[in-house]
Structure 1
C-alpha cells in the first residue's frame, strides 16, 4: 500500500503543496486535500482592486479548477487532529488516517475582538470588503481617512503602506487630495521590521503628505464619535476608518492541543515540523512565524513537498528550510520595489521602478497560471 498524505486547508499554501507533491510523487502515493471553499481569491490584489488597478473578477478562481489531476479532494472541515494516532476527524463524522499530515489552515479574521468594530469600518482582506471599500472610495468627497492594522500579526506587512500610497494617488486623480487627510497607524515600532526598507517607505510618506503614527495598537473604536483609541489611550478622529481586523489561527488547532489561544502552531523553523513529529508539517500562516506572507507560504510548500516526496521514495532527507521569500510591493506613483531575503539575509532597497510595479500588476496572472499549479 502506498504512502498516504493528508493536507488540511484548500487555500494558497495547501493547494501549492498538494500540486507540487503530485508532480513529484509516484502514482501509489495518495494525496488528499481537505477544505470546503468554493472559490480561491488572490489576496495581494486587495491593494489594487479598490483603485481599479485590476478587475476583481480576475482575482477569483473556482477552487476545484486549481487542484491538479490525481489529487483527492474532500469537501469538509477538519475538527480534531490526533497526532499520536495519525488521524483527523472531519465535521462529516469521518476519520482520516495518514502517514504524513500537512497543516495549511491559514488565518481567520476576528473583528469582534475589538470593542466597537462594526460594519461602518472598512478593510481590504477579503473580496467582499474590498468591493465595499472600492464603492466607498468612489463616493468619497474628502475628509480624514485612517488606515492600518489593529494588531499583530497580520497578513502581508507591506500591505498597509501599499494601500496608503494607492489611496494618495487615487485622491490626487480625483482632485480632492487637498481636501483629504491620510494617516497610517501601525502597532509596530516602524513600518516594517527592516530599517532600510522602512526608511525608504517613510521618506515616501513625507513626500506625499501621508501621516504616520507607529506604536498604535488599537484598543477600541467608537463609531458614534468616529474615534479609534489605542492601548496607550491615544484617540484619533476620523471620517472613514480602514482598520485591518485582528488575526488568529484556526480554532481547530487550539482544540487539538497543537496551538495556544492564538491558534498558531509552534514549529521548527528549519524543518517546519510540529514538535518531534517528523511526519507533521505546518505551512503558510498556520505556523507561528511573526511574518504572515503568501510568498513565504509558497516557499514552505515547495520545501515540504520536496521533503515528503523524497521520504516517500525511501530517501532520508537532511535538507533544511532557508526561509526564502520574494515579493513586489507597491510604492508611490505606480512604482514598486521587489524584496527578496531569507533567514540569513535582510531585504535591501534603494529605489522603486515602473518595471517592479508591472511585476506586481501581473502577479495574479503568474499566481494562477504557474505558482498555485506548483510549476514554480
Structure 2
C-alpha cells in the first residue's frame, strides 16, 4: 500500500452504471502536523491495549520515526490507500458490509467526506495536491469505468467506459500535476488526457506479455508495469517491465522467482533493482537484482513482513511476529537499502495500513 508514486469526458454509456455519491462530512481531531516530504508516511494505527470501541489513529511519521503526529481518528475497518505530497490529505477505504466506502480526509480543515462506490477496484489521488481522486470500478475488463471525482465523491469527468474498449488491468497511475493518466486500454498501455480521456500516446509493449498493470513511475522517463506472460519459458508467471515514454520496453525481471510464480513489483536503486517475488503463502519476498549476478534476498523476513514501497534508500514494510497473515501486533519499519539497517517507524500497537509520500508524486 503502499504508495505510489506520482499522481495522475466521455459520458458513461448507461446512466445506471454511474455510482451516485453518498457524501457525508464529520469533524476529525486535528494535530499541529509538520509538512511531509518524500519518505514520510501516514498510517492507520491502533495502540496496544485499546478498548474494542476505539478507532485507529491516523499518524504522520517521519522516515526514521523520530517525529509522529496524530492527524485524526478513523474506524477500525478503514485502510489508508493514499496520501497527498504534503501529508495533509489522506484517502481511506472501508470495505466492511455493502459497497466500499471511500473517505477523503482533509486534516488541515479537520473534515472528512465519504462516498460509496460499487465494484471498487482502485482509488487514489489524481494529483500530488490531493485536489481530486481517480476511481476504477468494475470487476471485468469489459465493464470497467475510470472516473475523476472530487474528494466529496462528485463526478467531475469520465476517462474510460466500455465504449472506449476493454480496461485490461484494474489500475491506473497519474502524473503529479494530474494532467495525464496511464491505463491499459484494449490491451495496450496508453497515456490518456485526464481532462478528456483521449489517448495522447500508446506506449511500447512486449510480445507474449498481456494484461499489463501500471504500478508506479520509474524515475521521470517511464513507468513500471506488472504483466502476465503468455508464451515462452516464463509462461504462466507475472513479470515486471520497464516501459519508457519513448522507446522500447525492457524486462526488469527475467526469472520465475523463488516460488516459480513470478514477480509483482520493482523499484530502481543505485545498488541494484529491488523486486518483489510472489510467494504462495504470505507476503512477497524482496530481492536485489543486479545484471549478471544472482538474486539476493534482502534482510526483510519474507513470512513476517509485507513490503509497502521503496522511496529513496528506504524499503517500507509492515512487520509482524506472526507468519503467513496470522494474528499479532504489526509495526511499520524501514529497511535501509544502503546500510541494511532496520528501523521501527511506528510501533506500540498494530499498523493496519500505510501510505508513503513518494518522490515522484
Per the shorter chain, which TM-score range?
under 0.3
Q: Which has the higher contact order (CA 8 A, sep 6+)?
A: 1
TM-score, normalised to structure 1, is 0.23
TM-score, normalised to structure 2, is 0.24
Whose radius of gyration is greater, 1 or 2?
1
